[in-house]
Structure 1
Amino acid sequence: MVMSIESLYPFLHSGSADLDSLLADVARSTAEKVDEIGRLRREVVAADDARMAACATAMAERFERGGRLMAFGNGGSSTDAAAVAALCVDPGPAWRPLPALALAADVATLTALANDVGFENVFARPVAAAGRPDDIALALSTSGGSANVLRGLAVAHERGLLTVGLAGYSGGSMAEAAARGEIDYLFVMPSASVHRIQEAQTTTYHVLWELVQRALGRP
């Protein structure tokens, strides 16, 4: 669902020239959004705290065996995938660097695959070519229904990788794949707002990363 700027920020389109009223509306809107993401984060933790710990333990075991993280997603989710990979590779001096890559960062491979074999294969092909059983596939999709993300996860599952998914809404097709056993750990951000979903997903992968570090004995 595409929302207009006016529907998101109606106070900017009210035609009011009262600056004090406008600032009050901005402050109220900001506070409402902060409350909304806070509630969503608490809801996700309440539903999935034990599974997050189990997922982090499984990820740490893969890293200990020499595995790598392969992260992927589309659009804003691709930037989150890049952020996860960067966090692993360059975590700062107090933490253990971990091998990771963001598949969408390889523009030459991505565009070649999109042009030659179809955009639905841009994540599946690299996973099939380079994925190893000790690796981890971390996929992000706000809708849970991105075809290329689902294909990437399916191939990762076939190759024996640990599969981790982050989705929004009610999980979409990723929830169906998880029910079939094709995604080992799926974390759903139950919201219809893409903004809140992505904010909650950011929190989720940071929590997973820190739990992995602690499972590995850092700090």
Structure 2
Amino acid sequence: MPEHLIQKHFVEAADLLYPASEQLPKGVAAAAEALVAALTSGGKVLIAGVGSTALLARHLAGLLVGGFERERPELAAVALSEDPSFTVAATTANAAGTERLARQVRALGLAPDVLVILAMSGNEPMLLRALEVAHERELSVVAITGQGGGALARGLRETDVWLGVPHERSARVFEAQTLLLHALCDELDLQLLGEPENP
């Protein structure tokens, strides 16, 4: 690959991240508040993603349970599984596909839990169904999507939090979502633990 095409990735990422640094901090703080409210009320964080965002779901669960950059007690977090074997008892393969994450939200979710949804387009059927069930169970929702957020963003309630990465390219959205998760964990630790002694 010619060097100028490789360089384009870095330039495109920088062009995304600088404007995003002005647009998204309020949403990150609001998302952290939602997680803190759930966790300090005896709730837990359920995290859902599909495909590449399922990797991010597991990453966030690991950061919440294991810690980000500071020592703190473990936080209750579960990355929901998109593995078909998780809901093998479903009556039809089609139902299992659409309902896979929704069934886990129904089985595990209970107010004051919060559901974090990580999506690329915001139109993924499995994630949309999980959102519906979360609202049925009275869970708060934090959605982190690509620009526009699709049907997922339109389905959120006023009390939910939406973080929309202002880009359409999946690679850039994934990179920005990873950064957002790190910023979210840092802000969550700040709200739970206060300012670090040695920043």
TM-score tier after normalising by the smaller chain length: 0.7 to 0.9
Alignment match, 1:48: 24
Secondary structure of 2:179's counterpart equals helix
- Number of residue-to-residue matches in the alignment: 193
1:78 counterpart = 2:54:
yes
Q: Which has the higher contact order (CA 8 A, sep 6+)?
A: 2
1:153 counterpart = 2:131:
yes
Structure-2 change in CA distance of 1:204 and 1:78 (3 Å): same
1:193 counterpart = 2:169:
yes
Alignment match, 1:99: 76
Distance across 2 between alignment mates of 1:67 and 1:105: 22
Alignment match, 1:22: none
Secondary structure of 1:71's counterpart equals strand
Distance across 2 between alignment mates of 1:154 and 1:86: 25
What's the offset of the Cα at 1:112?
A: 4.2
Preserved contact between residue 177 and residue 183 of structure 1 (Cα < 8 Å): no
Deviates more, 1:207-216 or 1:50-59: 50-59
Alignment match, 1:38: 14
Letter in 2 for 1:148: M
TM-score w.r.t. the length of structure 1 is: 0.80
Residues 100-130 of structure 1 show CA distances to partners (whole Å, capped at 9, x for unaligned) of 1111176632444473733111111111111
1:171 aligned to which of 106, 129, 149 = 149
Alignment match, 1:205: 181
Letter in 2 for 1:151: R
Residues 143-190 of structure 1 show CA distances to partners (whole Å, capped at 9, x for unaligned) of 110011011012112212120111113211112113xx1770111112
Distance across 2 between alignment mates of 1:57 and 1:31: 37
1:63 counterpart = 2:35:
no
Runs (5+) with no aligned partner, structure 1: 1-11, 13-24
Structure with larger Rg: 1
Distance across 1 between alignment mates of 2:23 and 2:112: 28
TM-score w.r.t. the length of structure 2 is: 0.87
Alignment match, 1:127: 105
